[in-house]
Structure 1
Amino acid sequence: MKKKLAMLATVSLMLCLSGCGTTTGSRSGSGALMGAVGGAAIGSLSGSAGTGALIGAGAGAVGGYLYDQHQKGHID
């Protein structure tokens, strides 16, 4: 139960901080870093922290890039 609560708190914190940065690179980088941490945390519960970190980093980088493009008005 404590692991699930810690994972939920970590993911919630990462979602709150995912918009940090003002440039495309910093938003994509922070998204990738937070995604890697979250993916590792989730992956460790299933026994594959490395795979979870890689998937989380990719998803976080794409998410950070899309958020940046939305903030700049390039996508709706």
Structure 2
Amino acid sequence: MKKTFIAIAAAATALSFSSCQNPYGPGATNTQRDATTGAIIGGLAGAVIGNQSGRSLEGAAVGAALGGAGGAAVGSTKDKQQNYYR
């Protein structure tokens, strides 16, 4: 039960960092895609790392926040490079 709750919490945290539209659909920017991917991966990694100290929910939240922010930074750089070379 606890693992299911952690997985749902990690997914909800990751989705909170994405926009309302499908971040992998047509017209999505690199920033949206990379922020969502980073939040999902960060949330999962944070839950695993946090589980080692008995704080998997906090780890998932911190991991999703850091992963989302890092992914958004990478995606923003990609968007700026694409617009520069057009």
Compute the TM-score of the two structures, normalised by the length of structure 1. Answer: 0.64
In structure 1, distance between residues paired with 2:70 and 2:54: 25
Alignment of 1:73 onto 2:80: yes
**Count of matched residue pairs:** 54
In structure 2, distance between residues paired with 1:61 and 1:49: 18
Q: For residues 40-59 of structure 1, what are the structure 2 equivalents within 5 Å?
A: 40-59=47-66
In structure 2, distance between residues paired with 1:71 and 1:57: 21
**How far 1:48 moved relative to its partner?**
0.3
In structure 1, distance between residues paired with 2:30 and 2:73: 12
Compute the TM-score of the two structures, normalised by the length of structure 2. Answer: 0.57
Q: Are the counterparts in 1 of residues 31 and 73 from structure 2 also a CA contact under 8 Å?
A: no
In structure 2, distance between residues paired with 1:23 and 1:37: 21
Which of these two proteins has the greater Rg computed from alpha carbons? 2
Residue-by-residue CA offset, 1:22-48 (whole Å, 9 max, x unaligned): 622111001000000000000000110
Could you list the structure 1 runs, at least 4 aligned residues long, displaced by more than 3 angstroms after superposition: none
* Matched AA of 2:45: G
Instruction: Give unmatched runs, 5+ long, in structure 1.
Output: 1-20
